[in-house]
Chains A and B, each alone.
Chain A
Amino acid sequence: MTITTTDPDYSPKTATTTAGRRIPDRLTPPMVRAIKSWESLLLLVAVGIFILNSFASPYFLDAWNLSDATFNFTEKAMIAFAMALLIIAGEIDLSVAAIIALASTAMGLMMQAGFDTPMIVATGLMTGLICGAFNGVLVTRLGLPSIVVTIGTMSLFRGISYIVLGDGAFRGYPESFSWFGQGYVFWVISTELAIFAILAVIYGVVLHKTNFGRAVYAVGNNATAAMFSGIRVARVKMILFLLTGLMSGLAAVCLTSRLGSTRPSIATGFELEVVTMVVLGGINILGGSGSIPGVVIAAFVMGLVTFGLGLLNVPGIVMSIVIGALLIGVIALPRLWQKFRRG
């Protein structure tokens, strides 16, 4: 597995060419770099899709329709922020969708026990945190590869949900609970969209403006060097696993509230869409680079694509072809272009 290789510097490129990494004589000016950056390319794609959509369907350019469209990505994007940090730090969590299922089941149990909204929400967040801690302990304390651990916990968490619920479902959440997934803060701004916006700012500041953010990059680029420069690598990774768990718990609150019911199959396949969103946002899957603005734009791109195709009556599974092609395409095209330019 490339993510967990024992030799962090290894890439097929450096292995096959002995020349090594080229260092440019002159740095490109910041303005040119900003224009050529991944984020601006992605923004261009987003605008393009937006324009195409508004031509394709007369129902697209409507404030309420656009507001509805945001539900396509808000829950996934909440997780994607934490996942972005985790992937930058060189780890991955494939159990996020399973955490949603388990947290949702726990919330259902609390609801059945007669607790009200604050307790239900707290249970969802706590369950997420505990699941994240479980992943984090296995990865940081026992030194296991995160991809295998989280494939395991993915089955385990959802499995527990199946044991509790079987083929049944929890229904009848209290009225006030529906605010998280169905409520609006102001005009067309839904609660979920507001949470998404606040999280985007928080994560952007944490990753790009704080010591912790720099530590995340350092760990992802070279964990050993980071350790020798005084960064507590295991602690940074543990915090990121906890964060990812917590965000999955939050997504579980929103999704359960929006659907109004819990089934063990809830959020199936979310983990792939979250990873797609993160990679589309320009986060290097091998760790070490990427930005939060990229993830935000990627969230909008994915939301717009699915919503636009939905307006055109394209079935969901065909949309998944588009998402899959997008995932490979956005990474393949720049590399093809580089190959082409080098001759």
Chain B
Amino acid sequence: MNVLKSRETILFAAILALLMLIATRFPGFVAPTNLLNVWADTSPLMILALGQMVVILTRCIDLSVAANLALTGMVCAMINVAMPGLPVIVIVGAALIMGAALGAVNGLLVWKLSIPPIVVTLGTMTIFRGIIFLISDGQWINAHEMSASFTALPRIQVLGLPLLGWTAVLVALIMGIMMSRTAPGRAFFAVGGNPHAAVYTGIDVGRTQFWAFVISGMLAGLAGYLWIARYAVAYVDIAGGFELDVVAACVIGGISIAGGVGTVVGTILGALFLGLIKNALPVVDISPFWQLAISGAAIIMAVTFNSRTGRTKGRIILKSAEIAQ
């Protein structure tokens, strides 16, 4: 019965219910090809949310992911413009390295100087955005300036799903294996679940948090290339405010902001839930202006629901202030 009660099952049921609701008004939406499109469209969000998941598991938060995405994407586009002959795979590699390096900046500040992560990433968020302006001089890089192979890669169809969608599948698989089957993956849970206990089992809390930021940054860099190549345009404000969607996807997916609790499947479903709403609103003829309010309401409901189910039953001997009225 535990499987039926799990957060993931409930979220999955909610997504199915949402799909059925949309299908009653617009049957074409649930056609397999369209659902694959929705998956592909949500892929950047899923990739970023998986990175954010690792960070939140270690009791940190990374608000700089969207700015990292935009900066790495801009650099990729500029490399492409400067050297159109360079194979795209090299650019993807550069995006991964650069994203990881930007993440490492956050990680080092959190690890070595123990500055609260929210302060660090608020700061780097504005700094990264500013750097985009400095290197691009505020100019846009448009589709005609990019090489054909640069923009084509995410759109290549394999078994009906564009490579963009497959990337999310691949990242989810790697993360799933890492988080559940490897020692470094388990360390992220240990650090978030109980930092004191983690220290006594020989895990370096700061170093683990550093690696969480590196992973988050690396995935943001990857998403940066994918985003720029898919929309075939790069400018300063790309993915502005997207970091909140990413955190929202994690929260809806059942990642506890207090750290230590969360799953890859939950994160994917959380991102998918937001992606479905975003794609369905225009179809069911609701103004896109509703999207922000709906995702806000979804976050609040999800976090309320999570805290209700997460509360352990039992006699409270010494009540803490959080529960007291």
Which A residues are closer than 8 A to B by beta carbons? 1-7, 10-13, 15-16, 92, 138, 141-145, 147-149, 151-160, 162-163, 166-167, 219, 223-224, 226-227, 233-234, 264, 272, 275-276, 279, 285-286, 315, 317-318, 320-321, 323-325, 327-328, 331-332, 335-336, 339
CA distance A276 to B324 in the complex (A): 31
Q: Does B73 contact A (CB under 8 A)?
A: no
Q: Does B60 contact A (CB under 8 A)?
A: yes
Q: Does B258 contact A (CB under 8 A)?
A: yes
Q: Cβ of B126 and Cβ of A15 under 8 Å apart? A: no
Q: Cβ of B116 and Cβ of A3 under 8 Å apart? A: yes
A146: shortest Cβ distance to chain B, in Å? Answer: 10
Interface string of B249-281 (1 = CB under 8 A from A): 001000001110000000000000000000000
Q: Cβ of A1 and Cβ of B119 under 8 Å apart? A: no
CA distance A324 to B97 in the complex (A): 23
Please name all residues of chain A whose beta carbon is closer than 8 Å to the beta carbon of B287 when the two chains form the complex.
163, 166
Q: Cβ of B292 and Cβ of A15 under 8 Å apart? A: no
Known: A324-B123, A328-B123, A328-B124. 20 other contacts (CB 8 A): A1-B56, A3-B118, A4-B257, A5-B59, A5-B258, A12-B114, A12-B195, A12-B206, A92-B118, A144-B303, A151-B251, A152-B299, A155-B244, A223-B321, A264-B289, A276-B122, A320-B130, A327-B126, A331-B115, A331-B119
Q: A331-B119, A332-B115 are in contact. Are A324 and B297 (CB under 8 A)?
A: no
Binds A, one of B6-14, B86-94, B131-139: B131-139
Q: Cβ of B205 and Cβ of A318 under 8 Å apart? A: no
Q: Which residues 283-316 of B sit at the A interface, judged by CB distance below 8 A? A: 287, 289-297, 299-300, 303-304, 307
Interface centre among B120, B196, B205, B292 (most CB of A within 10 A): B292
Q: Does B117 contact A (CB under 8 A)?
A: yes
Please name all residues of chain B whose beta carbon is closer than 8 Å to the beta carbon of A155 when the two chains form the complex.
244, 248, 292-293, 295-296, 299
Q: Cβ of B122 and Cβ of A327 under 8 Å apart? A: yes
CA distance A320 to B122 in the complex (A): 11
B275: shortest Cβ distance to chain A, in Å? Answer: 15
Q: Cβ of A1 and Cβ of B60 under 8 Å apart? A: yes
Q: Does B113 contact A (CB under 8 A)?
A: yes
Q: Which residues 39-74 of B sit at the A interface, judged by CB distance below 8 A? A: 56, 59-61
How many chain B residues sit at the interface, stated as a range, is: 35 or more
Please name all residues of chain B whose beta carbon is closer than 8 Å to the beta carbon of A226 when the two chains form the complex.
321
Determine the main DSSP class of B at the interface with A: helix
Q: A156-B293, A223-B321, A327-B119 are in contact. Are A144 and B307 (CB under 8 A)?
A: yes
Please name all residues of chain B whose beta carbon is closer than 8 Å to the beta carbon of A4 when the two chains form the complex.
257-258
Q: A1-B56, A145-B257, A315-B138 are in contact. Are A159 and B118 (CB under 8 A)?
A: no
Q: Cβ of A2 and Cβ of B321 under 8 Å apart? A: no
Pairs A-B, 8 closest by C-beta atoms: A159-B293, A155-B296, A156-B296, A321-B130, A159-B292, A152-B299, A324-B126, A223-B321
CA distance A155 to B124 in the complex (A): 22
A342: shortest Cβ distance to chain B, in Å? Answer: 13
Please name all residues of chain A whose beta carbon is closer than 8 Å to the beta carbon of B131 when the two chains form the complex.
321
With CB as the reference atom, state the residue of chain A lying closest to B110: A12
Q: Does B38 contact A (CB under 8 A)?
A: no
Please name all residues of chain A whose beta carbon is closer than 8 Å to the beta carbon of B257 when the two chains form the complex.
1, 4, 145, 147-148
Interface centre among A4, A324, A331 (most CB of B within 10 A): A324
Q: Does B127 contact A (CB under 8 A)?
A: yes
Q: Which residues 79-116 of B sit at the A interface, judged by CB distance below 8 A? A: 109, 111, 113-116
B126: shortest Cβ distance to chain A, in Å? Answer: 4
Please name all residues of chain B whose beta carbon is closer than 8 Å to the beta carbon of A148 when the two chains form the complex.
247, 251, 257, 299, 303
Please name all residues of chain A whose beta carbon is closer than 8 Å to the beta carbon of B293 when the two chains form the complex.
155-156, 158-160, 162-163
CA distance A286 to B126 in the complex (A): 21
Q: Cβ of B196 and Cβ of A15 under 8 Å apart? A: yes
Q: Cβ of A321 and Cβ of B127 under 8 Å apart? A: yes
Q: Cβ of B60 and Cβ of A317 under 8 Å apart? A: no
CA distance A332 to B112 in the complex (A): 10
Q: A166-B289, A317-B129 are in contact. Are A151 and B115 (CB under 8 A)?
A: no
